[in-house]
Structure 1
Amino acid sequence: MKIKQYRDLFTKTLSPIHGEGEAESFFYLILEANHRLKRIDLALQPDMEFSETEILIWNTLVEQLKLEIPIQYLLGVTSFYGLDFEVNSSVLIPRPETEELVEWILESQKSISGSDKLRILDIGTGSGCIAISLAKNIPQAQVFAIDVSQQALATAKKNAETNKVEVIFIKQNILQTDDLNQQFDVLVSNPPYVRNLEKQEIKKNVLDNEPHLALFVDDNDALIFYRKIAELAQKNLIPNGLLFFEINQYLGEETVSLLAEVGFKNIELRKDIYGNDRMIKATV
């Protein structure tokens, strides 16, 4: 079968579930990942064909996409801040909003004086996307990353090797940590922040596939990670050190108030590209 014919069939099958635009984007993502072919290649060689074996592989992917398994998990890789990251069911799929947080850190770290070699800690690193992107873009920095999940850390370590950066990974439960035992210039975290009451807003592909350990918090103490990390940051950030959070869009003002109560200053709440309260920067 010609690839163009299969593309039309693929798109028609998945459009009722994912929408035509997303279904078509899935097709070209798979085409590039599995065949090293881009859209332009298909346009220039419209008579290219899939073998019967290739069609069987594609049909299996179609069935998985019909079940709304994230395409990033099916391909085993995704792009974040210009880098490739392995992803699997033990880690969250990195979001564009988190790229904005990385960009903010890169802009802000230049303001820290008195440190020839920045020390950065990423708490709840998951795939390592934040820590690794920072290490790649601030080569003089010493980057540490914590996660409670051994499986997530194994994935993050692979991603650091793939992207040729050095990050010191530590298995640690931050909620059971009283002191980080060293000082940092920058502390960043994208911790679990989705309340159980918000589950109905979560897309099926996320709810059924991504790790709940990294997503959800109890409705009655939704800021538990922010409070704990803020308290640790007060002990373990250098004077005028920077704290960055990705946050629940519905709890922006509450998170600002929490940081003020703990003793932070210069607290800045920033919206993401979608207009949602999404990230915070504060100074010790």
Structure 2
Amino acid sequence: MSRIPLRPVIVEAVERLSAAGVGSPRADAELLAAHLLGVERGRLVLVPMVEPEVADRYRALVQQRARRIPLQHLTGVAAMGGIDLAVGPGVFVPRPETELLFAWALAQLETVRHDHAPVVVDLCAGSGALALAVAQARPDALVHAVEVDPAALQWTRRNAEARIAAGDTPITVHAADVTAPDLLTELDGTVDVVLSNPPYIPVGALLEPEVAEHDPHPALFGGPDGLDVIRPMVPAIARLLRSGGATAIEHDDSNAAGVVEAFTADGRFIEIVEHPDLAGRPRFVAATRR
């Protein structure tokens, strides 16, 4: 059977995804095509024709996306910083907004004095996105990733092993509860940067199907106001950080004031600052240890 043009098949996919309510139909249609063909999205123009069976496989992928299965579950990867991470059922899919938290961490690490290797802790690590992106960008850093959920922890370790195979600096993965009073006591007073993208969505919030039906709920919801994990985590962060060390916690756009209050009430933090995302919504709060 003769080959067929790819572009009309992609246009058909865009229309289907748009009708299904997908928020970025063109991007998703092109990313699915690029994934299937093994090329970068920007190079799809170099693949004008495909075999009919390839088009059929593509339409099957699009059908799954139209059912609101996350794009990253279909491609199997999500990006953070300069790396790709394996993701799928059982682990939270990293969001582009968290790139801002990663960028803040790299900027903060530039201020660390050079008489020791920087120490970084990622709390609620999930796929390991933040920890592994930092380790790739700063191979001199000693990076620790903490995750309590057994299913998510499998993805953390899988990605950590993959980055070692790629030649990146290893990280240390801990199976631990970030709210436990004895969390990482061996690191007390030695950590330069603590990062966290914890469960922070208030229970009852309306969510897109990709999130509500596919992201693990323990990674999403943080109690009635979204702060049930963040509040008990703050004292542990204060204990871990060295004097002058810094932390940043991502949060829901409805509870920035609550995160600020948690840092303020602890009494061991200064320079408590809210940071917006690119759309101007409150995204994370940073603070410095006295």
Asked if 1:239 corresponds to 2:240, the answer is: no
- CA distance in structure 2 between the aligned counterparts of 1:39 and 1:254, rounded to whole angstroms: 40
- Which of 169, 173, 178 matches 1:174? 178
The 8 Å contact of residues 135 and 167 in structure 1, kept in 2 or not, is answered as yes
Shift in Å at residue 195 of structure 1?
A: 0.5
Query: Runs of 4 or more off by more than 6 Å in structure 1?
Result: none
CA contact (8 A) 1:145 1:169 kept: yes
How many residue pairs get aligned? The number is 278
**After superposition, where does 1:115-264 map in structure 2 within 5 Å?**
115-163=115-163, 164-181=168-185, 182-183=187-188, 184-198=191-205, 200=206, 202-219=207-224, 222-263=226-267, 264=269
CA deviation string 1:122-144 (max 9, x = no partner): 11000111001111111111000
Query: Which protein has the bigger helix share?
Result: 1
CA contact (8 A) 1:28 1:38 kept: no
Q: Which letter maps to 2:178?
A: I
Aligned equivalents of 1:86 and 1:153: distance in 2?
Answer: 12
Tell me, which stretches of 5 or more residues in structure 2 are unaligned?
Answer: none
- In 2, the alpha carbon distance for the partners of 1:92 and 1:80 equals 13
Given that residues 101 and 279 in structure 1 are in contact (C-alpha distance below 8 angstroms), is that contact kept between their aligned partners in structure 2?
Answer: yes
Report if aligned partners of 2:6, 2:55 keep a CA contact under 8 Å in 1: no
Shift of the 39–124 alpha-carbon distance from structure 1 to 2, 3 Å rule, reads: closer
Contact 1:179 1:235 in 2 (8 A): no
C-alpha separation in 2, matches of 1:45 and 1:90: 34
Q: SS at the partner of 1:154?
A: helix
Q: Indicate the residue corresponding to 1:57 in structure 2.
A: 57
Check whether the contact 1:77–1:87 (CA below 8 A) recurs between aligned residues.
yes
Mapped pair 1:103 → 2:107? no
Q: How far off is 1:275 after superposition?
A: 0.5
Of the candidates 10, 33, 36, which is equivalent to residue 35 of structure 2? Answer: 33
Q: 2:208 and 2:34 mapped to 1: Cα distance? A: 26
1:5 is aligned to 2:8: yes
Q: CA deviation at 1:40?
A: 5.8
- What is the correspondence of 1:10-89 to structure 2 with a 5 Å cutoff? 10-18=13-21, 22-38=24-40, 41-44=43-46, 46=48, 48-52=49-53, 54-89=54-89
Q: CA deviation at 1:55?
A: 3.2
CA offsets 1:46-66 (integer angstroms, 9 cap, x no match): 3x12232x2332232122112
Displacement after TM superposition at 1:77 (Å):
0.7
TM-score using structure 2 length:
0.89
Corresponding residue SS for 1:197: coil
Identity in percent: 28
1: CA distance between counterparts of 2:86 and 2:145? 17
CA contact (8 A) 1:112 1:240 kept: no
- In the superposition, the TM-score normalised over structure 1's length comes to 0.90
Q: Distance in 1 between matches of 2:107 and 2:246?
A: 12
Answer with 118-127 or 29-38: which moved more. Answer: 29-38
> Mind listing any 5+ residue stretches in structure 1 that lack a counterpart?
none
CA distance in 1, matches of 2:270, 2:244: 9
Q: Residue 99 of structure 2 aligns to a residue in which SS?
A: helix
Is contact 2:203–2:226 with CA below 8 Å preserved after alignment?
no
Structure 2 CA distance, aligned partners of 1:134 and 1:45? 35
The residue number in structure 2 matching 1:279 is 284
